[in-house]
Structure 1
């Protein structure tokens, strides 16, 4: 296997749910055989986020903004992001929950890098859910991921993720 992959040749994974969540990710690490670190280039259209507001108890994530603008939610704070900003999100509880939201007029594009420790427990403060991942294939997104909400018998990944915070950020004026 060749140890190099051009982003233009990378397999693309698309995600979409409702009016607030959408992205396409060029998978970089997994196609090269990486097992401990995941990496992709994520494109998020204007007014969207790739994922719900979440935190990881086992894994850290790093992001490097390539183009576009947006807002980074971390805990109860929000920060504007622009090209060449580097972001680190450590493992931990709701105080380090994070989400990148495209508040600009063009795609928000970033390099995302994360550790891939299993099992992983993730929390979703906006919806009150907890997710547990016990297996994962970063190329396909397949694997065993269990979602729980103490107030319901069954829930899906997107349940309760109505995007209110995304809409609020989209309505707020963008910082230059």
Structure 2
């Protein structure tokens, strides 16, 4: 365990990051896996207001995710299906293609509160089926050099040899 990590954390002691993006995306959250000394497991606490979602519909090619609903009600969009969810429900989002794309939406009147837990791969590809985007990234410690993050669309694919000297 890292010198600054703790064995026990109380959510009430963490500072939430409050944010809003457009009309549909809003939340208050904090990631704290690293504070517990977890290098291969991501953990976040999330609060989402009524009628909002904390992220776009997306799927991971490498990382698995799990969500535990602490309070409130909502809808779990998973692949082509939609599932009502409530406090006590555990939601799985395994790595895969669009069939495992997922999004949690607060359809209730109270704040939707949940924990997000995920594996932390060194390299990840995330797709966003609604917008046709993808994210390619490396998950390295913020102190490490060589981190990579790129969001784009697949149209305009290049040939493998495009731009290479002597090709």
Same-fold status (TM-score > 0.5): yes
Deviations 1:83-103 (A, max 9, x none): 100111100000110000000
Residue 122 (structure 1) aligns with: 126
User: Do structure 1's residue 38 and structure 2's residue 42 form an aligned pair?
Assistant: yes
Matched residues in 2 for 1:98 and 1:107: separation?
19
Q: Give the count of matched residue pairs.
A: 149
Are the structure 2 counterparts of residues 78 and 150 from structure 1 closer, same or farther at C-alpha, using a change threshold of 3 Å?
same
Instruction: Report if aligned partners of 2:65, 2:116 keep a CA contact under 8 Å in 1.
Output: yes
Higher relative contact order (CA 8 A, sep 6+): 1
Higher relative helix content: 1
User: Do structure 1's residue 48 and structure 2's residue 52 form an aligned pair?
Assistant: yes
Matched residues in 2 for 1:137 and 1:64: separation?
26
Matched residues in 1 for 2:89 and 2:48: separation?
16
Report the alpha carbon displacement of residue 137 of structure 1 after superposing the two structures with TM.
Answer: 5.6
Matched residues in 2 for 1:86 and 1:30: separation?
22
Matched residues in 2 for 1:119 and 1:82: separation?
32
Report the alpha carbon displacement of residue 10 of structure 1 after superposing the two structures with TM.
Answer: 1.9
- Give the match's secondary structure for 2:35: helix
What TM-score does the superposition give when structure 1 sets the normalisation length? 0.78
Are the structure 2 counterparts of residues 11 and 36 from structure 1 closer, same or farther at C-alpha, using a change threshold of 3 Å?
farther
Higher relative strand content: 2
Q: CA RMSD in A?
A: 1.9
Q: List structure 1 runs of 4+ shifted beyond 4 angstroms.
A: none
User: Do structure 1's residue 21 and structure 2's residue 25 form an aligned pair?
Assistant: yes
What TM-score does the superposition give when structure 2 sets the normalisation length? 0.82
